[in-house]
A and B are shown apart, each in its own frame.
Chain A
Amino acid sequence: MSDTSRLGFYLLLAPILLWLVVLIILPHIGLFVVSISEKTGPRTYETGFGNYAAFFGEPLYWRTFARTAIMSILATVLTLILGFPIAYYIAKLTRGRTKTTLFLMCMIPFWVSELVRTFGWMILLRETGVVSNVLQYLGLVSGPVELLYNDAAIMVGLVYTSILFMVVPLVTTLDSLDDSLIEAGYDLGGSSTAILREIVIPHAKPGIVSGCIVVFMLSLGNYLTPILLGGKDSLWFTGMIYTQFITRFNWELGSAFGFLLLILSSLVVFLGLKLSGQSLSETMGRA
């Protein structure tokens, strides 16, 4: 490589390096440093893992942590179950304009902010909301029903918020599945379930895995939806981090929580990839 082209290469590389170092690596180093400093008195700190010990010592903390993880996994699974038929329909059973229209209809809700979308759900689900009134009008319930502030409402919100991120990679991978492969499956005597299991899903695997990773990370890191739809009982780990940083002004514990969340998401993604036999570069590169 000549000197000028080498210079060009580094110049092109600079923005991404800058972004990674300044906005990702440095803050995380800072976060880690804060998380391992224990406050011993006003403005005096000691290095140690006390903040992490506090997390494991307090059941509320690690139970919220586990609950957030399990709910996020559940939300991911539900999104996949809901998103797969939608994606299959868009990719395989429609053509031309219908396809574009359906795809756009999936996108439209994402033109408004997450906050507005979540308030929309609150209008539907609250005690004086649309669903409650319809149920009363139909005579199915005698008085107003509160549908907000429970786990189901959180789940609905999480699935709704993230379904697009499942549908898009799935449509892309299913689109690339040759129709004649499905026909060949039928021709060789396969039933619809056998074809789904042996031909469609193996082909869509990279899309499924990348969709799941994105949806899982979005759910795990979601703050608005659990707080607004789940109320003060939502017990979402991001809410807990917020409390430590803003309400309690305990940056040290908050940083430790943040780091634990990072470890958790990395671990779950790693396990998911191992279980599905995919590699991260392959999945993200193809989708």
Chain B
Amino acid sequence: MTDSPPDLMCRDLTKDFDTFRAVDHVSFDVPQGSFFSILGPSGCGKTTLLRMIAGFQTPSAGDLQIKGKSMIGVPPNKRPVSMVFQHLALFPTMNIGDNVGFGLRQRGVSKSDIKSRVDRVLDRVGLPGVTDRRVDQLSGGQKQRVAIARCMVLEPDVLLLDEPLGALDLKLREHMKVELKSLQAAFNTTFVYITHDQSEALVMSDNIAVMNNGTFEQIGTPHEVYHSPNTAFVAGFVGDANIITATVTARDGNTLALTTQTGGTLSLETHDASLNAGQETQVFLRPEVIELIQPGSAPEDAVNVSEGIIESVLFNGANSMVTVTDRNGAHMKVALPQTGSSTAVQKGDAVLTRWHPTQAQCFAMAQD
């Protein structure tokens, strides 16, 4: 089997602006047909990165290849990439058919060919027969699909998406997540999606790159990024977590014993060889790994068990949570399991919290 080059490959891509470095030596590969997300807070450089891939900005250093061909110096209208803009950028002076056919017209495709290809792609995104409508006659979700159709009709090697779901309301956004993923699978095109919304990235992606201050903190599958974050930033940014500041008191193999700021003791397992006694750390504990049990029902030898009082119940349907205050006054968010057993918890109840030593992440405190 021959090794074909990845659809998109970046090597040490860097972009300097007058006063700061927006993208700092970023390298990654996106294999053909995969959904790659770049997740990061606003201002982390993800938009600059995407605009470099599209060709609207020139990298200060590094190489960018699409299907093995370097794109440095290639203008945006000559690159085999298409972009779905944040606000979609559908041309309001044209009807839907002309919008979708715009790229084909630029390539000099014959009129009848354009018509059949536009009809076909609109069919595939589930909008048959809208060619004569005006842009403002479509709903938000329909515009979204037209914007994707306008790009896909050109059969690009890579489709770039710049937070296109940001402007939609919550319900539609949830729906479009699923739809985008299935469209990507149907077209089997490589998607590069940037977002600050972790749930969009987690639901849709094959691979996620978590970006912060111009660099990639971690590249991995949604599962890896969520369950085994490489850095404190990733652990804090992706998903919800209780962040506990604690000092390592002893290390025994891979097991650490820690004392929290409020005086509690923790025990957890780590693969980070650099953590040793005396070190300040941050422990990230996801609300759903903490178990609520009845007082007195914990086995004698159990670790990471602490007594607490339910301080508040935050009802949010399937994502309901409680905050528990332990003896030392530390707060902890705990997800309520949805199996019916814990629906009776009320404010002021005494409970025990317990979690497994392998389910927390621990990182050395960042040096200031």
Chain A residues in the interface with B (C-beta under 8 A)? 178, 180-181, 183-191, 194, 198-199, 202-203
Q: Which residues of A contact B78 (CB under 8 A)?
A: 189
Q: How many residues of B contact A (CB 8 A)?
A: 26
Besides A180-B89, A184-B89, 9 new A-B residue pairs in contact (Cβ under 8 A), listed by A number: A180-B85, A181-B89, A185-B102, A187-B55, A187-B81, A188-B77, A188-B150, A189-B103, A190-B102
Q: Is the CB of A189 within 8 A of B85?
A: no
Q: Which residues of A contact B175 (CB under 8 A)?
A: none
B47-62 interface with A by 8 A CB criterion: 54-56
Q: Is the CB of A187 within 8 A of B54?
A: yes
Q: Which residues of B contact A202 (CB under 8 A)?
A: 93-94
Query: What are 26 A-B pairs at a CB distance below 8 A?
Result: A180-B87, A181-B91, A183-B54, A183-B56, A183-B76, A183-B83, A184-B83, A184-B85, A184-B89, A184-B91, A185-B102, A186-B75, A186-B77, A187-B55, A187-B81, A187-B83, A188-B106, A188-B154, A189-B103, A189-B106, A189-B154, A190-B102, A190-B103, A191-B106, A194-B106, A203-B92
* Bound-state Cα–Cα, A190 to B106, Å: 5
* Bound-state Cα–Cα, A198 to B105, Å: 11
In the complex formed, the residue of B with least CB distance to A178 is B89
Any A CB within 8 A of the CB of B13 = no
Task: Please classify the interface of chain A as helix (H, G, I), strand (E, B), loop, or mixed, using the class held by over half of its residues.
Answer: helix
Say yes or no: A188-B85 contact (C-beta < 8 A), given A181-B91, A183-B76: no
Q: Is the CB of A180 within 8 A of B102?
A: no
**Inter-chain CB contacts under 8 Å: number:** 64
Q: Is the CB of A190 within 8 A of B56?
A: no
Interface centre among A188, A191, A203 (most CB of B within 10 A): A188
Q: Which residues of A contact B102 (CB under 8 A)?
A: 185, 188, 190, 198
Interface centre among B75, B81, B85, B93 (most CB of A within 10 A): B93
Those 5 A-B pairs whose CB atoms lie nearest each other, nearest first: A188-B103, A202-B93, A184-B89, A180-B89, A189-B106
* Bound-state Cα–Cα, A227 to B55, Å: 54
In the complex formed, the residue of B with least CB distance to A180 is B89
Q: Is the CB of A183 within 8 A of B89?
A: yes
Q: How far is the CB of B3 from chain A (nearest CB, A)?
A: 30
Q: Is the CB of A188 within 8 A of B87?
A: no
* Bound-state Cα–Cα, A236 to B56, Å: 51
Any A CB within 8 A of the CB of B151 = yes
Q: Convert B110-140 into 0s and 1s, putting 1 for each residue whose CB lies closer than 8 angstroms to a CB of A.
A: 0000000000000000000000000000000
Q: How far is the CB of B276 from chain A (nearest CB, A)?
A: 51
* Bound-state Cα–Cα, A132 to B106, Å: 48
Q: Is the CB of A178 within 8 A of B87?
A: yes
Q: Is the CB of B77 within 8 A of A190?
A: yes
Q: How far is the CB of B200 from chain A (nearest CB, A)?
A: 20
Q: Is the CB of B77 within 8 A of A187?
A: yes
* Bound-state Cα–Cα, A265 to B355, Å: 85
Q: Is the CB of A188 within 8 A of B151?
A: yes
* Bound-state Cα–Cα, A188 to B78, Å: 9
* Bound-state Cα–Cα, A190 to B154, Å: 12
* Bound-state Cα–Cα, A199 to B55, Å: 20
Any A CB within 8 A of the CB of B86 = yes
